[in-house]
Amino acid sequence: MISLDVQKQLNIILPNTNKALKEVIKDATSKELLNLSQNKDLKSIMNSLLKQTRESSSSDKTLLNLLKNNPTLKNLGSISGNIKALLQSVQSDKNPLPIEKQLKSFLVNIKDLSEPILKEKIQNSGVFLESKLKNAQNPQVELKETLQTLTKELKSSKIFNVTVLNEKLTEILNTKPIANASNRALLQLLQESSKDLTSLSKTIKDVTKQLLEHQNNPANKADVINSKTVITQLHKLTNFDTPAKLTPNYHVEKIAQEDIKAILAKTTEQLGKSDHPQKADILKHIDKLSLQIDYHQLVSHLSNASSLYIPFEWNEMKEGQISVKKEQDDKFTVDIDLKLQEYGELNIKLALYEKNQLNIRIYSNHQDFKNIIKENIASLRSSLIENGITPREIRLLDKNRQEAPSPYEQNEQNIQVGFEVKA
């Protein structure tokens, strides 16, 4: 069972819970460990990793270097490939584990990717599990905040029926579960009354429905019920229309059901009590995937960024890495480094500034690939413009060409936030 722990953020970078860190320390030489722990004990080093400073300490840089050059971690393969291997092992039994369905939905072919799907997969990649649990909120607290804002706004409504409905919302606000709602409930094993939550959700659903009807009435267009604040808060109220959505641990349970790291942990727990014929093989693949996720989490802490993988399948790509950085003045830079099956190494540098101004530089030594880009560069420019992006520069260059730094490289010292995506 995945339980909420306020120390989860720290546990990401402790050797007994982070497999990647354990692997690095195991393989480090005496000299490297001495450099790592010079002038401070290991516990202090681990705690220092939580500090969101711009400049990494020498011990952080040493640990990051050890992490990225560790032979075990460098030879784990791609996460998408390991997910496929795990899926094959799970499918070998006539009584499949629940993880089979979850893995099938998690691994998406690049042809089927869309912005919402990609965002969902990144959020549930396991890299953010601990931070999501740490920031999980009791739905009853969310409802309380929504009701407080909504009732305050609706007091000025000139519609009699809305005033009556607002009194009902005030009554809900004063009921014991909502009035005393606290996020401390997430850390306790509370037995909520199913009957009370059923009644509460039904009342919310009924009142919300009636308020929306008044909102949609053209005669009420000038009333406060059609203000931006009320529209927003009524939309939020629709999220509390079932008893399950009002239980204190609703968000925690939802995270545990969707996040790949939580799913892997739960499957490990299930296998401990089963006699699955492929038990050993499945556990091996789970251990490898967990190690890779732990690696990305640790790199995130050490580099003051968010290092993650994109869970998609693309047969043309052998290896790939995408580094995205945000500068102080809302400038974004992207370095895409790929090794393609047919066209070899490909590097793309992007710089986005003033919200929609984009510079693109494409580096390749493969003449066929460069010819393809030349033939389609007009279409690329048109597509960018159609999506509200102005391509100020699109240049196709030889990969080994030496040239002056691009504008965004000159401002590298200003970078404060970023993430690294590996496929």
Q: What is the per-residue pLDDT for 365?
A: 92
Contacts of residue 421, Cβ cutoff 8 Å, sequence gap at least 6: 307, 308, 309, 310, 321, 322, 323, 324
Q: What is the per-residue pLDDT for 76?
A: 80
Q: What is the per-residue pLDDT for 33?
A: 52
Q: How many whole angstroms separate alpha carbon 34 and alpha carbon 28?
A: 10
Q: What is the pLDDT of the chain when averaged over all its residues?
A: 78
Q: What is the per-residue pLDDT for 26?
A: 64
Contacts of residue 217, Cβ cutoff 8 Å, sequence gap at least 6: none
State the pTM of this model: 0.71
Selection from 322, 303, 334 nearest residue 409 by Cα: 334
Across the range 23-51, mean pLDDT stands at 49
Percent of the chain with pLDDT strictly greater than 70:
76
Of residues 291 and 321, which shows the higher confidence score? Answer: 291
Selection from 351, 354, 365 nearest residue 393 by Cα: 351
Q: What is the per-residue pLDDT for 401?
A: 64
Residue-wise pLDDT for 73-131, tens only, equals 777 877 888 888 898 888 877 777 888 888 888 888 888 888 888 888 888 988 888 88
Q: How many whole angstroms separate alpha carbon 186 and alpha carbon 192?
A: 12
* Largest CA-CA distance found in the chain, in angstroms, rounded: 78
pLDDT bracket for residue 133 (50, 70, 90) = confident
Q: What is the per-residue pLDDT for 283?
A: 92
Q: How many whole angstroms separate alpha carbon 130 and alpha carbon 261?
A: 10
Residue-wise pLDDT for 216-231, tens only, equals 999 999 999 999 999 9
Q: Range with the lowest mean pLDDT among 5-9, 72-76, 181-185, 312-316?
A: 5-9
Tell me the angle at which helices 228-237 and 139-154 cross, rounded to the nearest 10 degrees: 150
Across the range 371-379, mean pLDDT stands at 92
Q: How many whole angstroms separate alpha carbon 282 and alpha carbon 77?
A: 16
Residue-wise pLDDT for 394-416, tens only, equals 999 988 764 544 544 444 333 33
Across the range 231-256, mean pLDDT stands at 91
Domains and CATH numbers, the chain: 1-137+251-306 (no CATH), 139-247 (no CATH), 316-422 (3.30.750)
Q: Is the pLDDT of residue 12 over 70?
A: no
Q: What is the per-residue pLDDT for 272?
A: 84
Q: Is the dihedral of CA 193, 196, 200, 203 positive or negative?
A: positive
Q: What residue type is 393 in one-letter code?
A: E
Of residues 65 and 23, which shows the higher confidence score? Answer: 65
Q: Range with the lowest mean pLDDT among 35-39, 158-162, 209-213?
A: 35-39
